[in-house]
């Protein structure tokens, strides 16, 4: 596995691979890799000849400095994991390499979707994601890129960006990888104390109960959302939002909609959990 931290040598390597007729798959990450990331790499291997993974804790997508500073950086472990799944190239740029002009940055803004839900809770977050993903796409020039469905809104945002900006890249979403008790794998789960970790699976469990009631024909989405929020609060979460939205554009769903998604976010101690359930009713 090649380990490169500068832009030009990555471009050179990829140019050579493309000249040799190889198809390139790309998995962008912020490191602290878990089985969910490795599943993305495994899927990437099925879709292309060479797999590139980036590890970059992107400062401009963090709305809080403390969150950026606390974000786990585990490069030695991450590299060992990537070796074990036969990744071909890991790109680990520094902040200076990706943002040489400091905060004077040309930004990519994906309209509409960036302001909803996660975007409302974390101002500037999606502009930071869209900007870094665009930069990484320009450096790696992949044929295909793989994202986890756990970050459902991020996946939609990347798909919209690629379509709106005519980027010739296939975007593939991969189902959320969960621990055996149902908790969605996330780098931020490491913030949970042992006690919180025991409670954490209740988040998805309760979302599944809501999905069941919707399947059985429950209406009045507003009150269903509110009652789940208060249930979560009683269990020990600080819910940010529970929303039933249209699956195609994340606008507010009504009882007539068939393709819907339940999206939720809640704090548990220092960890902010997010999850979603896409469903047809």
Q: Which residues bind ligand PAF (CB under 6 A)?
A: 28-30, 58, 61, 129, 132-133, 151, 154
Tokens of 170: 């296939």
CA distance linking residue 147 with residue 174, whole number of Å: 6
User: Does 37 qualify as catalytic in the annotation?
Assistant: yes
Provide, rounded to whole angstroms, the least separation between the CB of residue 19 and ligand PAF.
28
Provide, rounded to whole angstroms, the least separation between the CB of residue 150 and ligand PAF.
9
* Cβ neighbours of residue 109 closer than 8 Å, sequence gap 6 or more: 127, 130
CA distance linking residue 207 with residue 151, whole number of Å: 16
CA distance linking residue 278 with residue 281, whole number of Å: 10
Residue 29 or 141 having the CB closest to ligand PAF:
29
Residue 151 or 275 having the CB closest to ligand PAF:
151
Q: Is the torsion defined by CA of 150, 153, 155, 156 positive or negative?
A: positive
214 neighbors 279 (Cβ within 8 angstroms): yes
Provide, rounded to whole angstroms, the least separation between the CB of residue 218 and ligand PAF.
32
Q: Which residue has the tokens 């986890």?
A: 148
Which has the closest alpha carbon to 279: 162, 149, 178, 188?
149
Residue 109 or 195 having the CB closest to ligand PAF:
109
Burial class (CB in 10 A: 0-12, 13-18, 19+), 225: middle
Tokens of 122: 């974390």
The total of other beta-carbon atoms located within 10 Å of residue 55's CB is 24
Residue 64 or 234 having the CB closest to ligand PAF:
64
Provide, rounded to whole angstroms, the least separation between the CB of residue 148 and ligand PAF.
7
Q: Of the residues 3, 34, 37, 125, which is catalytic?
A: 37
Provide, rounded to whole angstroms, the least separation between the CB of residue 129 and ligand PAF.
5
Residue 187 or 202 having the CB closest to ligand PAF:
187
* Cβ neighbours of residue 16 closer than 8 Å, sequence gap 6 or more: none
Q: Tell me the catalytic residues.
A: 37
């Amino acid at each position: 596995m090649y380990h490169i931290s500068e832009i030009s040598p990555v471009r050179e390597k990829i140019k050579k691979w493309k000249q040799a007729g190889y198809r390139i798959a790309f998995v962008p990450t912020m490191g602290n890799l878990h089985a969910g990331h490795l599943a993305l790499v495994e899927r990437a291997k099925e879709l292309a000849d060479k797999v590139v993974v980036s590890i970059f804790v992107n400062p401009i997508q963090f709305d809080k400095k403390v969150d950026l500073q606390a974000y786990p950086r585990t490069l030695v472990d991450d590299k060992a994991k990537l070796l074990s799944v036969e990744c071909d190239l890991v790109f680990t740029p520094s902040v200076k390499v990706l943002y040489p002009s400091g905060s004077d940055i040309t930004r990519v803004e994906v309209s509409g979707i960036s302001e909803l839900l996660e975007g409302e809770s974390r101002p500037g977050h999606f502009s930071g994601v869209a900007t870094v993903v665009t930069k990484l796409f320009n450096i790696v020039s992949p044929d295909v890129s793989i994202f986890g469905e756990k970050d459902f809104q991020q996946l939609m945002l990347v798909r919209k960006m690629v379509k709106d900006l005519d980027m010739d890249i296939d975007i593939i979403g991969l189902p959320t990888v969960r621990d055996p008790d149902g908790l969605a794998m996330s780098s931020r789960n490491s913030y949970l104390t042992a006690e919180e970790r025991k409670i954490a699976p209740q988040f998805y469990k309760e979302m599944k109960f809501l999905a069941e009631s919707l399947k059985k024909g429950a209406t009045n989405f507003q009150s269903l959302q509110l009652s789940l929020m208060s249930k979560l609060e009683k269990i020990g979460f600080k819910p940010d939002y529970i929303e039933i939205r249209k699956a195609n554009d994340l606008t507010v769903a009504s009882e007539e909609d068939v393709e819907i998604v339940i999206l939720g976010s809640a704090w548990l101690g220092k960890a902010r959990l997010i999850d979603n359930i896409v469903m047809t009713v």
